A and B are shown apart, each in its own frame.
Chain A
């Protein structure tokens, strides 16, 4: 029937490469990476700014430098890397079909699959952007690719909607290349970007940040000519007569990223709160043998955490390939409680062999608080956090002895100091 391969990794970005390296080190020698681009590295190739690798390499690297280190390591292991190859379909019995410039249409049967396909950007349609649709409305990541890979500056006078990190980084990048960034509008009363990016990318260049503002109109014939922003109330409804009009030629959208899971969601893999798969501590999905990691599981703010998660999935897949099953087959649920938007992993084996790192995000900023891990009302572990913000992923180490001692589901919640129940 189909050629059989041991482990197929979909995506050759930071998650896929780390997964491949770890699986190889754990004894899996027959590994295929399928990557749609002509080079390994994924989104890092267009993230030319620095700040990557402080955890992984103990030095500050740019995106291409970080990607190159992993790509060289991956290549040195002799792993089968298929470039310019797009996966079209994955089946429940682990047949992967891809189209390749060199090979045409190919199907391979895998014993295990790791999905490391990254995320995509929310666009104008996703937020029902008001106004007309002239040329010049572009997602921030696409503008980044045009500028940093292809060398095209998309516009000269720019308004940015959304203060996520990509939007902030692009505000600085386009300014340095000679564009005038007139405003960054953010729907929420706080920025979704890192504080250091607000300082380095906006304040350094006197770019105003309008919090609790959104785009209320886009005008232009052929090309964007005017963008109007308006203040919003606490229910995010536009407040009349608060309009500010900008004469501009470009509107960048930095309004969120969504895990790219189409290949596995349409074969019945269960999807969780992150819009990525529900996984256990080995990054295995609800279909045995299919693993996932990186931005297609949950959107990360640091690539160093993506690499670590990739290794987690690579290790899990190697265990599965060697033993045919992961863990005891019985799992506790991990539930997101007060002011927690999600926890990864969301399933924990009842007989853990290793301590587990729980990863979570808060829904809204909260300071001077405890992160409380509990089961059936009994506190298992409690740590203090001076500051919690949605743009920073938090980690929480749960020792295996504690996790294995409980009988019911586990939850994580945030509690303001002195306001305990």
Chain B
């Protein structure tokens, strides 16, 4: 039996998920989806900044294009911190494809001229 606080909405239901992935404690269907995912493969979006080599004192803000496994957050951060981006950069530009072999790319969330 695993216990979580649902983050699908602000209500914050206290979920219980048993070995057969039965979710209880949820007040809506979103809680069931979140509870199952959290019990099997919890994922998170990472947002951070990366260096821009050809601009003075400028950082580009970035995110993972799709959420990554929760256990890989610090490894993905290491890859983001190794990044050296070149301006001009547009929102959505892929700065690192398939980070650590995952389905997720590191994409820009800010325009840099």
Chain A residues within 8 Å of B, Cβ to Cβ: 48-50, 60-62, 64-65, 68, 147-151, 176-177, 194-196, 198-200, 203-204, 386-387, 389, 392
Q: Are A198 and B5 in contact (CB under 8 A)?
A: yes
Assembled-state Cα–Cα distance A198/B63 (Å): 20
Which one of A149, A176, A203 has the greatest number of beta carbons of chain B within 10 Å? A176
Q: Are A195 and B7 in contact (CB under 8 A)?
A: yes
Assembled-state Cα–Cα distance A88/B18 (Å): 61
Q: Are B91 and A68 in contact (CB under 8 A)?
A: yes
Within 8 A of A (CB), among B26-49: 27, 44-49
| List of 8 A-B pairs having minimum Cβ-Cβ separation, nearest first | A195-B12, A196-B7, A64-B110, A62-B109, A48-B61, A49-B47, A64-B61, A65-B109
Q: Which chain A residues lie closer than 8 Å to B45 at the CB level?
A: 50, 60
Q: Are A194 and B109 in contact (CB under 8 A)?
A: no
Q: Are B10 and A148 in contact (CB under 8 A)?
A: no
Q: Are A386 and B47 in contact (CB under 8 A)?
A: no
Assembled-state Cα–Cα distance A352/B47 (Å): 44
Q: Are A177 and B77 in contact (CB under 8 A)?
A: yes
Q: Are A151 and B7 in contact (CB under 8 A)?
A: no
Asked if B73 is at the interface (CB within 8 A of a chain A CB), the reply is yes
Assembled-state Cα–Cα distance A148/B61 (Å): 8
Assembled-state Cα–Cα distance A353/B99 (Å): 54
Q: Which chain B residues lie closer than 8 Å to A64 at the CB level?
A: 61, 91, 109-110
Asked if B111 is at the interface (CB within 8 A of a chain A CB), the reply is yes
Q: Which chain A residues lie closer than 8 Å to B82 at the CB level?
A: none
Binary interface profile of B, 1-16, with partner A (CB < 8 Å = 1, else 0)? 0001101001110000
Known contacts: A49-B47, A50-B45, A62-B61. The answer to whether A68 contacts B111 by CB under 8 A is yes
**Which B residue's beta carbon lies closest to that of A61?**
B109
Known contacts: A150-B57, A198-B5. The answer to whether A62 contacts B44 by CB under 8 A is no
Show 13 residue pairs from A and B whose CB-CB distance is below 8 angstroms, ordered by the A residue. A50-B63, A62-B47, A64-B109, A65-B91, A65-B110, A150-B59, A176-B73, A177-B77, A196-B12, A198-B5, A387-B11, A389-B10, A392-B10
**Which A residue's beta carbon lies closest to that of B42?**
A204
Binary interface profile of B, 76-88, with partner A (CB < 8 Å = 1, else 0)? 0100000000000
Q: Which chain B residues lie closer than 8 Å to A198 at the CB level?
A: 5
How many Å from the CB of A61 to the closest CB on chain B?
Answer: 8
Report which of A150, A176, A199, A389 forms a contact with B7, defined as CB distance below 8 A.
A199
Asked if B70 is at the interface (CB within 8 A of a chain A CB), the reply is yes
Q: Are B59 and A149 in contact (CB under 8 A)?
A: yes
Report which of A68, A148, A195 forms a contact with B5, defined as CB distance below 8 A.
A195
Known contacts: A176-B73, A194-B10. The answer to whether A199 contacts B59 by CB under 8 A is no
Q: Are A204 and B59 in contact (CB under 8 A)?
A: no
Q: Which chain B residues lie closer than 8 Å to A176 at the CB level?
A: 46, 48, 73-74, 77
How many Å from the CB of B4 to the closest CB on chain A?
Answer: 8
Q: Which chain B residues lie closer than 8 Å to A147 at the CB level?
A: 49
Known contacts: A176-B74, A198-B5, A386-B27. The answer to whether A151 contacts B59 by CB under 8 A is yes
Q: Which chain A residues lie closer than 8 Å to B10 at the CB level?
A: 194-196, 389, 392
Assembled-state Cα–Cα distance A39/B48 (Å): 20
Q: A61-B109, A62-B109 are in contact. List 8 more A-B contacts (CB 8 A).
A: A60-B45, A62-B47, A64-B61, A68-B91, A148-B61, A151-B59, A176-B77, A199-B4
